[in-house]
Amino acid sequence: MNKIGLIISREYFTRVKKKSFLLTTILVPLVLIAFYAIIIVIAIKGGSDKQSIAVVDKAGLFTDSSIAANNKNIQLTLINNETEASFINKYKERGYQAFLYIAHIDSGYVLHSQSSVSLTTTSAIEKIINKQIEAKRMQEQGIDPAKYKSIAADVSIDNTIDTKEGGKKSVAGVAYAVSFTCGMLIYMMMIVYGAQVMRGVMEEKTNRIAEVIISSVKPFQLMLGKIIGIGAVGLTQFAIWIILIFGLQMLTPLIFPDLFHQLNSVSQAGGKSSLIATSLQGLSSLPILKIAISFLFYFLAGYLTYASLFAAIGSVVSEDQQEAQQLMFPILMPIILGFVIMTKAINEPNSSLAVFGSLFPLTSPIVMMGRITYEVPAWQLALSAALLIGCFFLFTWLTGKIYRTGILMYGKKPSWKEMMKWAFKKS
Amino acid sequence: MMTLLEIKNLKKYYATQKAVDDISFSIEQGSIFGLLGPNGAGKTTLLRMITGIFYPDSGDIIFNGKKFDPLNDIKEIGYMPEERGLYKKMKIGEQALYLAQLKGLSKAEAEAKVKEWFIKFEMQSWWNKKVEDLSKGMSQKLQFVTTVLHHPKLIILDEPFSGLDPVNANLIKEEIFKLAKAGSTIIFSTHRMEQVEEICDHIILLNKGQKILDGTVNNVKQDFKENIYSIGAHILPENLMTHIFEVIKHQPDKLLIKLLYDTRPNDVLNFFIGQGISINSFNEVMPSLNDIFIKLVEGTDTARQFQKI
């Protein structure tokens, strides 16, 4: 009907025209890109500053030559003619962050420092020492290090999923990332936009504009118009993000032509195939269309289901933010539960918990995203969608009645019992 | 005169009280109708039923000769609630257009009407401002404009003058008279009795969900007058011994008296002439609506107790 259209367009345009909308919509992908850029830079340039650590070696584990070849982030220097007690006052002046005292080969390693040393540094030093001990022992036993290397094993497993179209390579890492991102986005958007619906309803109620509008349209039209309008804002935001992210990804090689080259050379230096190449290959092996359609469906249906609940809450509280928080809690619970099940479902997509979570309509929008990159039986998808749509209609019908009564009531917050009574009252 | 709105035995009960308990009245087209009553008397519930927000439990609302059909008839009604009802963050021009379109005006019609009213109220420069930047009086003006914009047959104003300075209050009062003259019917709900006396043709008084008074302002005053007269004279003696009236207030040059039994005004004049006192004024003092209101409502609990029904 025409009036719902008017309400939708007001809800949509007042939000989209706001400066803050443009700001968050454009800033979020920029922040994401900047975040990736920083990760890449760290990966290329290496992490923190080089640590300079002195070694007082009473056990004679290291020699000058063996100590020189080690970790790029840690510079070990062998100190002669000093004891633990004598060097403890000197290492700071000589420019060392810490010093390692070795009493025996088997035990008695102490790292002296003035502030606590990070776990990475400690484990890096441990690794160096272990390697040195192994080398020393191999020498004592008369084992050729080259021969040992040929004996030591280091395998990795490839998982192949057998489908009707034949076997295809599983790309667990990429699938994991895509699932998690989709689930996370739905989780965030449901809370963010649900809360916007609630705040919008509260605003209308406390401004008493609701009374004016309801003397022109039905309360249900006002509620539905608001929910649809805000949902459209969410979709717009997604659309802008997708365009921006793809646009920036296309532009990145033009702006930083040697970035990928550098990245590839770094990962090739590690002896593995290019990270980017694996990710791209992984992405193309995923059922992108199926994922996109499910994402859109579960976002919309999930949002609509919860938005009506948020609207009902907005309609029963007046002015008091705290009351709203209290009432919001029971609604946030299943959303958060859904998120938790989703993180489990990514690892075990066919566990009974994951299957239940992806069918149960209050958690399915999020949990199904955790399973979507894996093979989900068609009947489960269909059942999950049907349950979600049914739940949406049921909730909207019930909350519409709570909303209708609540929006014109001022004063005391109604109890859950009263709200239930409104919901099931015959109109 | 044609009847625009007729309310017949309207009832609306809540769980804890009878908000509107069997109320009937009718309103002539083009009249200004005062709906009076203390807080909690049931005015808002009654108005919400007339605006189609609530459905009555029983009784009939006849609007424009037909049974009231909220879906279609709300186009013909403009409702201005007591508390300001506007979107704070929305621009004033857009807001007026939006509310007008919700009432069923096309975009072009709405634009023309909004401009016309903004010029009339000297609000053109406000178009791009937000409501939160307006003073209370200014938003009250905007609210009034959005209420009458679509030229409704029935205009319901709940405390339209609260927060307005005398100049703006006068501006809106003039508009109310003009609208009534042009054929709109106005329901005016307030506690401010002096405004009612000035503006309304017909009033009803509600208390505890029931109608306790119904009539034109003049008739009501006639019904409640108490035969009180004020007499002005140059010098009045201290003691006036008479059984035809009782002195309520005694000032050196002015007297307020209440006639006793079936004394007529001429008897009083005769009495003074007989006493050789020269009178220079003699007026009947009519009760103010305020007095009537207080007299009728007093003694009943104004903020009513919640009762089980």
Tell whether A303 is covered by a domain. Answer: yes
Residues of B in contact with A214 (CB under 8 A): 53
Beta bridge partners of B76: none
Give A69's contacts (C-beta < 8 A, 6+ positions apart). none
Give A85's contacts (C-beta < 8 A, 6+ positions apart). none
What are the strands of the beta sheet with B77-80, ordered from one edge?
B77-80, B154-158, B185-190, B32-36, B202-207, B210-216
Question: Which candidate from A207, A214, A216 shows the least CB-CB separation from B103?
Answer: A216
User: Which of the listed residues A121, A151, A181 is the one where a domain comes to its end?
Assistant: A151
Torsion angles phi and psi, residue B282, rounded to 5: -150, 110
User: Which of the listed residues A151, A183, A202 is the one where a domain comes to its end?
Assistant: A151
Q: Which CATH code is given to the segment(s) B3-222?
A: 3.40.50.300
| Of A167 and B174, more confident | B174
Q: For residues A383 and A390, what is the distance between their CA atoms, to the nearest angstrom?
A: 10
Residues of B in contact with A209 (CB under 8 A): 85-87
Domain assignments of chain B as residue spans, ordered by start: 3-222, 226-285
Q: Are A217 and B102 contacting, i.e. CB atoms less than 8 angstroms apart?
A: yes
Pair of tokens at residue B73: 């008839």
Q: For residues B287 and B221, what is the distance between their CA atoms, to the nearest angstrom?
A: 6
| d(CA A214, nearest CA chain B) in Å | 6
Identify whether residues A65 and A196 lie together within a single domain.
Answer: no
Q: Per-residue confidence at B156, pLDDT binned at 50, 70, 90?
A: very high
Q: What is the mean pLDDT of residues B187-215?
A: 86
Which amino acid is present at B68? F
Residues of B in contact with A208 (CB under 8 A): 81, 83-85
Identify whether residues A269 and A396 lie together within a single domain.
Answer: yes
Q: Are A399 and A311 contacting, i.e. CB atoms less than 8 angstroms apart?
A: yes
Instruction: Give me the tens of pLDDT residue by residue for chain A, a chain 427 residues long.
Output: 578 899 999 999 988 888 888 888 888 777 877 887 787 777 666 555 677 888 888 877 887 777 766 666 778 888 887 788 888 888 888 888 888 888 888 878 888 888 887 777 888 888 888 888 888 888 888 888 888 888 888 887 776 766 655 555 555 677 788 888 888 889 988 998 999 999 999 888 888 888 888 888 888 889 999 999 999 999 998 888 888 777 766 776 666 655 555 555 544 444 444 555 566 666 666 777 888 889 999 999 999 999 999 999 888 887 677 888 888 888 999 999 999 999 888 888 888 999 999 999 999 999 998 888 877 888 999 999 999 999 999 999 888 888 888 888 776 677 777 787 777 776 5
CB contact under 8 A, B81 and A207: no
Q: How far is CA A415 from CA A78, A349, A400, A419, A422, in A?
A: 74, 40, 17, 6, 11
Beta bridge partners of B5: B27, B63
Q: What is the pLDDT of residue B161?
A: 85
Residues of B in contact with A207 (CB under 8 A): 84-88
Q: What is the mean pLDDT of residues B147-165?
A: 87
Q: What is the largest CA-CA distance in chain B?
A: 76
Q: What is the pLDDT of residue B72?
A: 82
Mutant choice from A8, A207, A209, A217 vs B, greatest count of B C-beta within 10 A: A209
Give A204's contacts (C-beta < 8 A, 6+ positions apart). A210, A213, A222, A407, B87
Handedness of CA A321, A323, A324, A325 (dihedral sign): positive
Could you give the residue ranges of the DSSP H alpha helices within A74-118? 84-87
Tell whether A100 is covered by a domain. Answer: yes
Q: Containing H/E element for A150?
A: helix A145-151
Identify whether residues A128 and A177 lie together within a single domain.
Answer: no
pLDDT in tens, B52-99: 888 888 889 999 888 888 878 888 899 888 776 788 888 889 989 999
Tell whether A304 is covered by a domain. Answer: yes
Q: What is the pLDDT of residue A166?
A: 53
**How crowded is residue A5: how many other Cβ atoms within 10 Å of its Cβ?**
13
Q: What is the pLDDT of residue A341?
A: 92
CB contact under 8 A, A215 and B98: no
Residues of A in contact with B146 (CB under 8 A): 212
Identify whether residues A147 and A177 lie together within a single domain.
Answer: no
Q: Are B296 and B212 contacting, i.e. CB atoms less than 8 angstroms apart?
A: yes
Q: Containing H/E element for A79?
A: strand A74-79
Tell whether A167 is covered by a domain. Answer: no
Identify whether residues A193 and A136 lie together within a single domain.
Answer: no
- Please give the class, per CATH, of domain B226-285: alpha beta
Q: What is the pLDDT of residue A306?
A: 93
Pair of tokens at residue B257: 């008296």
Which letter does DSSP use for residue A76 in this model? E
pLDDT in tens, B116-134: 999 988 888 888 888 888 8
CB contact under 8 A, B53 and A213: no
Which letter does DSSP use for residue A90 in this model? T
Mutant choice from B63, B102, B157 vs A, greatest count of A C-beta within 10 A: B102
Identify whether residues A226 and A118 lie together within a single domain.
Answer: no
ipTM (interface pTM): 0.76
Residues of A in contact with B101 (CB under 8 A): 6
Number of domains in chain A: 2
B120 part of contact set with chain A, CB < 8 Å:
no
CB contact under 8 A, A211 and B86: no
Q: Containing H/E element for A168?
A: strand A166-169
Pair of tokens at residue B82: 């007591």
**In a 3-state reduction of DSSP, which class is residue A166?**
strand
The CATH number of whichever domain residue A77 belongs to comes to 3.40.190.10
Judge if B3-222 and B226-285 fold alike in CATH terms.
no
Q: Are B32 and B200 contacting, i.e. CB atoms less than 8 angstroms apart?
A: yes
Question: Which candidate from B48, B88, B102 shows the least CB-CB separation from A3?
Answer: B102
Q: Containing H/E element for A330?
A: helix A321-347
Residue of chain A nearest B107, judged by CA positions: A6
Q: How far is CA B12 from CA A361, B4, B15, B165, in A?
A: 39, 22, 10, 36
Q: What is the pLDDT of residue A338?
A: 93
Tell whether A26 is covered by a domain. Answer: no
Give yes or no for residue B16 having a pLDDT over 60.
yes
Q: Per-residue confidence at B309, pLDDT binned at 50, 70, 90?
A: very low
Identify whether residues A291 and A178 lie together within a single domain.
Answer: yes
Tell whether A297 is covered by a domain. Answer: yes
Torsion angles phi and psi, residue A101, rounded to 5: -110, 130
Interface of B with A in 87-106 (CB under 8 A): 87-90, 98-99, 101-103
SS (H, E, C) chain B: CCEEEEEEEEEEECCCCEEEEEEEEEEECCCEEEEECCCCCCHHHHHHHHCCCCCCCEEEEEECCEECCHHHHHHHEEEECCCCCCCCCCEHHHHHHHHHHHCCCCHHHHHHHHHHHHHHCCCHHHCCCEHHHCCHHHHHHHHHHHHHCCCCCEEEEECCCCCCCHHHHHHHHHHHHHHHHCCCEEEEEECCHHHHHHHCCEEEEEECCEEEEEEEHHHHHHHHCCCEEEEEECCCCCCCCCCCEEEEEEECCEEEEEECCCCCHHHHHHHHHHCCCCEEEEEEECCCHHHHHHHHHCCCCCCCCCCCC
Q: What is the pLDDT of residue A1?
A: 52
Q: What is the mean pLDDT of residues B20-44?
A: 88
Q: Are A406 and A422 contacting, i.e. CB atoms less than 8 angstroms apart?
A: yes
What are the strands of the beta sheet with A74-79, ordered from one edge?
A74-79, A51-57, A98-102, A109-113
Identify whether residues A121 and A256 lie together within a single domain.
Answer: no
Identify whether residues A146 and A214 lie together within a single domain.
Answer: no
Pair of tokens at residue B305: 């107790």
Mutant choice from B75, B87, B136 vs A, greatest count of A C-beta within 10 A: B87
Q: Are B67 and B209 contacting, i.e. CB atoms less than 8 angstroms apart?
A: no
Q: What is the mean pLDDT of residues B29-44?
A: 87
Identify whether residues A241 and A322 lie together within a single domain.
Answer: yes
Domain that holds residue A101: 51-151
Residues of A in contact with B85 (CB under 8 A): 207-212
Residues of B in contact with A318 (CB under 8 A): none
**Which of B160, B88, B162, B97 has the alpha carbon at shortest distance from B129?**
B88
Residues of B in contact with A16 (CB under 8 A): none
What is the count of residue pairs from A and B with beta carbons less than 8 Å apart? 54
CB contact under 8 A, B99 and A212: yes
Burial A239-278 (b: 16+ CB within 10 A, else e): ebbeebeeeeeeebeeeeeeeeeebeeebeeeeeebbeee
Q: Are B184 and B155 contacting, i.e. CB atoms less than 8 angstroms apart?
A: yes
β-pairing, A166-169 with B77-80? unpaired
User: Which of the listed residues A151, A181, A215 is the one where a domain comes to its end?
Assistant: A151
Question: Which candidate from A7, A215, A408 shows the least CB-CB separation from B79?
Answer: A215
Pair of tokens at residue B74: 């709300």
**Which of A335, A14, A24, A3 has the alpha carbon at shortest distance from A200?**
A14
| d(CA B79, nearest CA chain A) in Å | 7
Identify whether residues A117 and A189 lie together within a single domain.
Answer: no
CB contact under 8 A, A208 and B88: no
Residues of A in contact with B86 (CB under 8 A): 207, 209, 212
Residues of A in contact with B130 (CB under 8 A): none
Tell whether A156 is covered by a domain. Answer: no
Pair of tokens at residue B16: 């804890």
**In a 3-state reduction of DSSP, which class is residue A293?**
helix
Interface of B with A in 230-259 (CB under 8 A): none
Tell whether A357 is covered by a domain. Answer: yes
Identify whether residues A347 and A401 lie together within a single domain.
Answer: yes
* Residues of chain A with a CB closer than 8 angstroms to some CB in chain B: 3, 6-7, 10, 14, 203-204, 207-217, 408
